Amino acid sequence: MKTNSYNLSSGALNGINVLDISNFLAGPVSSMFLGDYGAEVIKVEKPDLGDEIRYWGNNKNGVGLMYKLINRNKKSITADLRTKFGVKIIKKLVKNTDIIIENYRKGTLEKWGLGYETLSKINPGLIMIRITGFGQTGPNSHKPGFGTLAEGYAGFANINGYEDRSPLLPGFGLADETSGLMGAFLALTALHERDKKSGIGQVVEFGIYEPLFTLLGPQVVDYDQLGIIQTRNGSRLPFTAPRNTYRTKDNKWVSISGSAQSTFERMCEALNVSHLITDKRFLDNRLRIKNAEVLDDALQEAILKFDQSTLIKIFEEVGAAVAACNNIKEIFEDEHFKSRKNIIAIDDQELGGPLKMQNVVGNFSRTPGKIKHTGPKLGQHNYEILVEMLGFSKKELELHGYKLSPSKGI
């Protein structure tokens, strides 16, 4: 199952082979995280069109920028999985694959002859990650599902926004991204079980709504024990106060949390409203939650006397918790982001220069992750994978519509 020799400089997952046959966001995000730490990721895309995420979001000179981010550190090949030849390619790749990631509707892979029962006979150690809208079981399992649906179905939209307005969806692919992170975690969990215990692979499946549902806080236990249904309440939380965003004198914004008693007291002292500390409505966290609206009004009035930079400085001096509400321009200019190297520039041939993107998350002392390259051109690694690795001939590939270029690309 392992075909690569271990190399500390290549990342903690060097030697792990991942086959990503998924599309759009959740599945590709899973393989992105694995690739960030050295896993060899081969991404299979539709001939001619590729993954539709190539056409999502903004583009520069026709090149999709979102694709470049989500599919960094991957090799791109093309194959039509609906054809016998496409199935043949996958079956050959599976022989040396540790993890395969897919997000087709229930039964699709089985219809194509690529179900786990078939693939595990080729490679008993194969781990298959199956990400669908609603999972492989249950009355909704046959339905198509996307992150937007999951954000509503899981209960997120219903608690996001304000009570007198409609439920609010997030401004980015929250359900897909959390599913991507969960997919990577579950893949590594199954890999650990295989390598340390059973020696065989397994199927790991979940619905896109499920990671988000799990992360939505104490809603289940609160409803089960107290019958409480959480409502939309802006930026406030039902279990801590104060917690909100506040406008400063220079028309900027800060986010503030004062749930710990000592933090709340330091905050009040910094804002010259020490009388709030002894106010009977705000003596502890539970009372502050009960009177959160009144407390927010008092804090907002005090905060409007300071510009953002001054407010942050005095909060830091007394040890109170505060942070600027940054837009992306401010993040690019922020010294802490720079010192942590949270944004990194990677050369990209298609764009003709460096492309800045979010860096790998996590600083490993011995086996750090690394972005080796941005998302590849469609089929950029066809020759390397199909000819050099799998042994297909030029004649056979051309018979199935592949075109060899002088640069060994197909």
* Residue ranges of domains in the chain: 8-214+359-379, 243-325
CB 374 within 8 A of CB 68: yes
The overall average pLDDT reported for the chain is: 95
Percent of the chain with pLDDT over 90: 93
Supply the pLDDT for residue 406: 45
Per-residue pLDDT at 2 exceeds 50:
no
Mean pLDDT of 174-184: 98
pLDDT class for 403, splitting at 50, 70, 90? Answer: confident
Per-residue pLDDT at 201 exceeds 80:
yes
- At 336-392, the pLDDT tens digits run 999 999 999 999 999 999 999 999 999 999 999 999 999 999 999 999 999 999 999
Question: Residue 222 catalytic?
Answer: no
pTM of the complete model: 0.93
Supply the pLDDT for residue 9: 53
CATH of domain 243-325: 3.30.1540.10
Which CATH architecture group holds 8-214+359-379? Answer: 3-Layer(aba) Sandwich (3.40)
Q: DSSP label at 138?
A: S
Catalytic residue, candidates 176, 222, 224, 307: 176
pLDDT class for 8, splitting at 50, 70, 90? Answer: very low
Query: What SS3 state is found at 221?
Result: helix
Considering only CA atoms, which of 87, 127, 91, 101 is closest in space to residue 22?
101
Supply the pLDDT for residue 51: 96
User: What distance in Å separates the CA atoms of residue 1 and residue 404, rounded to the nearest whole number?
Assistant: 30
Per-residue pLDDT at 3 exceeds 90:
no
Handedness of CA 352, 353, 354, 355 (dihedral sign): negative
